[in-house]
Structure 1
């Protein structure tokens, strides 16, 4: 017996404030029913002895450790800038606000 009926889909549409045509109700009824069936299949095999996974292969942190090092001086950072104002990059305003 199907858990998802056209009346349920119409009710969900009302709750979500979505106006659904008859064709959409028919389509969504079969699609949602297939989704519920697939979730039920997964629930059957997802027993307590099967560990939960978020990824099919083991993952590990790929970041390197932070290391203190020399940083660029202001002059070095600005040396190739198309436009600079002393100690800052100068860029064109993009939000229409001139400061």
Structure 2
């Protein structure tokens, strides 16, 4: 498939690209090659092929979101730089 200058400039406008005159010839050739390559997909027999919703058949496995105690308060505060009874003590950030 051949792309003309009008189509090239329309695509460039939609993509918000500035095309220099010296780039036109190379871009026209590149776009024509790409469209020719994509056009080869029309040769494939896709009868009975289900459309893809994902590129792989992997499925996300989510765990149940349930609260559980994984560390005790004493263990959490053991390495605290500064603590106040049962809480971490941090510098004041708001006035």
TM-score category by the smaller chain? 0.5 to 0.7
Query: Structure 1 residues 12 and 79 mapped into 2: Cα distance closer, same or farther (>3 Å)?
Result: same
1:1-99 paired onto structure 2 within 5 Å: 1-2=1-2, 4-45=3-44, 47-53=46-52, 54-55=54-55, 58-61=57-60, 65-66=63-64, 69-80=68-79, 83=81, 86=84, 87-88=87-88, 90=90, 98-99=93-94
Q: Which ranges of structure 2 fall in alignment gaps of 5 or more residues?
A: none
TM-score, normalised to structure 1's length? Answer: 0.55
Aligned length: 89
Relative contact order, higher structure (CA 8 A, sep 6+) = 2
Q: How far off its partner does 1:8 sit?
A: 1.4
Q: For residues 24 and 77 of structure 1, do their structure 2 counterparts lie closer, same or farther at Cα, with a shift above 3 Å needed?
A: farther
Q: TM-score, structure 2 length as denominator?
A: 0.57
CA-atom RMSD in angstroms: 3.3
User: Gaps (5+ residues) in structure 1?
Assistant: 92-97
